[in-house]
Amino acid sequence: MIKFVLMVNRQGQTRLSRYFQPVELSRRAALEADVVRCCLSRKKDQCSFVEYKDYKLVYRQYAALYIVVGVTDSENELSVYELVHNFVEVLDKYFSRIMFNLDRVHIILDEMIQNGHVVETNRSRVLAPLTALDKMVD
Amino acid sequence: MSDVVEKTLTALPGLLSLDSQPGSTKLSSSSKLGNLIRGITELTSKHEEEKLIQLELTSIKEQVSSPNTSMRQMKELMVRAIYCEMLGYESSFSYIHAIKLAQQGTALEKRVGYLAVSLFLNESHELLLLLVNTVLKDLQSTNLIEVCMALTVVSQMFPKDMIPAILPLVEEKLNHPKEIIRRKAVLALYKFYLIAPNQVQHIHNKFRKALCDKDPGVMTASLHIYLQLIEENPEGYKDLTTSFVTILKQVVGGKLPMDFNYHSVPAPWLQIQLLRILCLLGKNDQSTSEIMYEVLDESLRRAEINHNITYAILFECVKCIYTIHPKSELLEKAAKCIGNFVLSPKINLKYLGLKALTYVVQQDPKLALQHQMTIIECLDHPDLIIKRETLELLFRITNAQNVTVIVDKMLEFLRVNKDDYTTIDLVGKVAELAEKYPLM
């Protein structure tokens, strides 16, 4: 299962964090900093899957942003690696018309991952509820 | 970086502008959150961050308590509170206002209220009870978007003791004409199963109905419940094997609508889910395994496209083939597949290949022998993760002849390794080997 999804920049500043297993607020900053340190120390030609504590990190870099997903051992790392890309493509499709919004990114993530499991990967279906909401506002 | 990624990168203005162009104007200048994020980005010390966030929290606290704050403004305030909590600064005073926002807001305001609740609270939080009435109301709304929101939040967190109050309403939604409602209702039931399985025992036949739903999304949602049920009791669901095989056949054969494709591969995560289910059903069961051979063969063949997601499916396929009752032709093809992974110059595939080898090596030690040169190369690989995975593999194929060499390599690795968990794990393995081969 997926334990958390993080979007962190190279300076270690968190842009988005979503925890599917409870982690105390006070421990999150340290965890995130440690995770990004771990990913930053990796070179370009190295594996995108890192063993971290008793679970694994799957990370993917997009320019200055790292998207890191914490997963349990039973997860298929490559499928999570591509899930990240799918997520980025969904964001790309949606935000090409709208300015970046923290709440909207969360709403999109809500549609894709619940309880640590992948629930929807069809791009149009992921965006449908949000697009409907946007129409209501207009 | 591939072309696709490059294209995606340049089309992500908002996200990247925060980090690649300082002082960018992509964020709306009137957005308080935008200003806050920009402010935080430019700071260099934790102390300064604390000061800025405390100021922000004080401001938010003032405004949420004011009677003049509209729901629209409340929405903005909640998002700012979410941001503060994301950085690790508690804003518990806003929790009750999140619930109020979900109650009193409309459209996006309501949605953000629900979002805030799902981020702020947890299953056992006392305030969660206050959400139940709002959820009940929204579930009965004529506005389908509100029904969707309610179902979404229910799938994320819901107080266990209140399930009986909401269960009939959710069950009713299983028959809704709109697929999105049916799908979300199934996911809500999955959540109920996770937190209180005995509460949903009586509706197993409804899960079955969802599995046969004409909409692939609803069917996919039901697989979450089935995977769980089958993990716990494979015997009870062997009769569904043919259904799962048929579904996988249709997916692999491209029978789903185009929008379920990801880079021309039909519903890859669905394929993976189905393969996992088949794996559990076919284990130690020859007759059930025989039902799956054809579709597994088909999956192996179809996954010819050179894309990561195809390799992910292949990995799952190979794992399944090696877990269920053996069939030599399939094993041969699967072995070839693993070989291709291990020999691949792409490091992620190499990793996957090693992982697969570790999984199958007990059943097929010859396979490891076949690739021993590559394995030996991987032992000296600059990437510690590959090295580590190789050691894991070697541990499985240790015998009296090679134990000394393998333990030597493990000790060598321990000298450079800095991670505690890996150290503990490897030391345990060395100890185990020392016990098993005392004369080494």
DSSP string, B19-58: HHSTT-S-S-TT-HHHHHHHHHHH---HHHHHHHHHHHHH
List, as ranges, residues 122-181 from B with C-beta within 8 Å of A: 122, 145, 148-149, 152, 155-156, 180
| Closest chain B CA to residue A43 | B383
Q: Of B7, B12, B53, which to mutate for an interface test with A (greatest number of A Cβ within 10 Å)?
A: B12
Size of interface A-B (CB pairs under 8 A): 194
- Which amino acid is it at A26? S
DSSP state of A57: E
- Report the SS3 class of residue A130: helix
Residues in chain B: 440
pLDDT band at B359, cuts 50/70/90?
Answer: confident
Of B426, B368, B433, the residue nearest B397 (C-alpha): B368
| pLDDT computed for residue B440 by the predictor | 55
Burial string for A64-86 (b: 16+ CB within 10 Å, else e) reads bbbbbbbbeeebbbbbbbbbbbb
pLDDT band at A138, cuts 50/70/90?
Answer: low
Is it the case that residue A111 has pLDDT exceeding 90? yes
Is it the case that residue B345 has pLDDT exceeding 70? yes
Q: Of A24, A91, A122, which to mutate for an interface test with B (greatest number of B Cβ within 10 Å)?
A: A122
Is it the case that residue B30 has pLDDT exceeding 70? no
Contact A89 B41 (CB under 8 A): no
Residue pair A42/B111 in contact by the 8 Å Cβ criterion:
no
Alpha-carbon gap, residue B348 to B60, rounded angstroms: 45
pLDDT band at A98, cuts 50/70/90?
Answer: low
pLDDT band at B28, cuts 50/70/90?
Answer: very low
How high is the mean pLDDT of chain B? Answer: 89
List, as ranges, residues 263-322 from B with C-beta within 8 Å of A: 267-270, 272, 308-309, 311-313, 315-316
Contact A81 B308 (CB under 8 A): yes
Q: What is the pLDDT of residues B91-140, one digit of tens each?
A: 999 999 999 999 999 999 999 999 999 999 988 899 999 999 999 999 99
pLDDT band at B3, cuts 50/70/90?
Answer: very low
Contact B312 A79 (CB under 8 A): yes
Higher pLDDT, B222 or B404: B222
| pLDDT computed for residue B384 by the predictor | 87
Cβ contacts (< 8 Å) between B217 and chain A: which residues?
120, 122, 125
pLDDT band at B233, cuts 50/70/90?
Answer: very high
Burial string for B350-384 (b: 16+ CB within 10 Å, else e) reads bbbbbbbbbbbbeebeebbebbeebbeebbebebb
| pLDDT computed for residue B17 by the predictor | 46
Taking residues B188-207, report their average pLDDT.
91
How high is the mean pLDDT of chain A? Answer: 91
Q: How many CA atoms lie within 13 A of A71 on its CB side?
A: 24
Q: Of B2, B5, B9, B15, which to mutate for an interface test with A (greatest number of A Cβ within 10 Å)?
A: B15
Q: Give whole-number Cα distances, B382 to A47, A63, B139, B406, in Å.
A: 11, 24, 55, 18
Alpha-carbon gap, residue B116 to B102, rounded angstroms: 9
Q: Does B193 touch chain A (CB under 8 A)?
A: no
Alpha-carbon gap, residue A58 to A85, rounded angstroms: 12
- Which amino acid is it at B212? C
Alpha-carbon gap, residue B23 to B29, rounded angstroms: 11
Alpha-carbon gap, residue B258 to A125, rounded angstroms: 12
Q: Does B260 touch chain A (CB under 8 A)?
A: yes
Residue pair A15/A9 in contact by the 8 Å Cβ criterion:
yes
Contact A78 B18 (CB under 8 A): no
Q: Does B20 touch chain A (CB under 8 A)?
A: yes
Contact B107 A137 (CB under 8 A): yes
Does the interface predicted TM-score (ipTM) exceed 0.90? yes
| pLDDT computed for residue B1 by the predictor | 39
Cβ contacts (< 8 Å) between B386 and chain A: which residues?
47
Contact B115 A107 (CB under 8 A): yes
pTM for the full predicted model: 0.91
| pLDDT computed for residue B371 by the predictor | 84
Query: Which of A13, A54, A77 is the closest to B41 by Cβ?
Result: A13
